[in-house]
């Protein structure tokens, strides 16, 4: 058997611990089996949108009822000053991070261009993909 290549994990240890807060399926063994079955069944389907769907489905299995909290953390958790328990703040960060807003939205929300730049720099939109 060939020696496995070692890749540096991009997530710091303390951040990995924080991610574990979201891994809370009702039945962990069943969730792991379901996640692996999804990977085996759909992981090789051609198309980035189908692979994104597979990843999303695996995350749903592994996070259980914490799925939306995980997505909120993933989308806007790295933005300084965003309170993830404030649904309105999370929605605004998503809107501004995605670039899906009108200039008048800035004034109405009391957001400066500097705030927008900070949000856009730390924003990553979760992709639910398309089922194969």
pLDDT of the chain, 132 residues: tens digit per residue:
455 666 666 677 777 788 888 888 889 999 999 999 999 999 999 999 999 999 999 999 999 999 998 888 877 777 777 788 888 888 888 887 877 788 787 778 777 888 778 777 777 778 899 999
Residue 6 falls inside a structural domain: no
List, in order, residues 6 or more apart from 104 with CB less than 8 Å away: none
Question: From CA 13, how far away is CA 16, in angstroms rounded?
Answer: 5
* Long-range contacts, 8-13 (Cβ 8 Å, 24+): none
Q: What single-letter DSSP state applies at residue 46?
A: S
Residue 38 falls inside a structural domain: yes
Number of domains in the chain: 1
Residue 8 falls inside a structural domain: no
Residue numbers of the domain that contains 38: 26-121
Residue 42 falls inside a structural domain: yes
Residue 79 falls inside a structural domain: yes
Residue 66 falls inside a structural domain: yes
Residue 91 falls inside a structural domain: yes
CB 77 within 8 A of CB 67: no
CB 39 within 8 A of CB 58: yes
Residue 117 falls inside a structural domain: yes
Global pTM? 0.73
């Amino acid at each position: 058997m060939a020696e496995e290549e070692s890749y540096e994990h991009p997530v710091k240890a303390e951040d990995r611990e924080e991610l574990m807060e979201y891994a809370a399926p009702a039945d962990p063994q069943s969730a792991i089996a379901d996640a692996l079955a999804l990977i085996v069944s759909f992981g090789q389907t051609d198309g980035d949108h189908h692979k994104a769907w597979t990843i999303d489905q695996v995350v749903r299995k592994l996070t259980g009822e914490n799925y939306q909290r995980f997505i909120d953390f993933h989308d806007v958790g790295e933005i300084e000053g965003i309170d993830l328990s404030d649904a309105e703040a999370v929605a605004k960060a998503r809107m501004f991070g995605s670039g899906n807003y009108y200039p008048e939205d800035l004034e109405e929300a009391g957001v400066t261009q500097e705030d927008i730049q900070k949000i856009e720099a730390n924003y990553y939109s979760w992709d639910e993909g398309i089922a194969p």
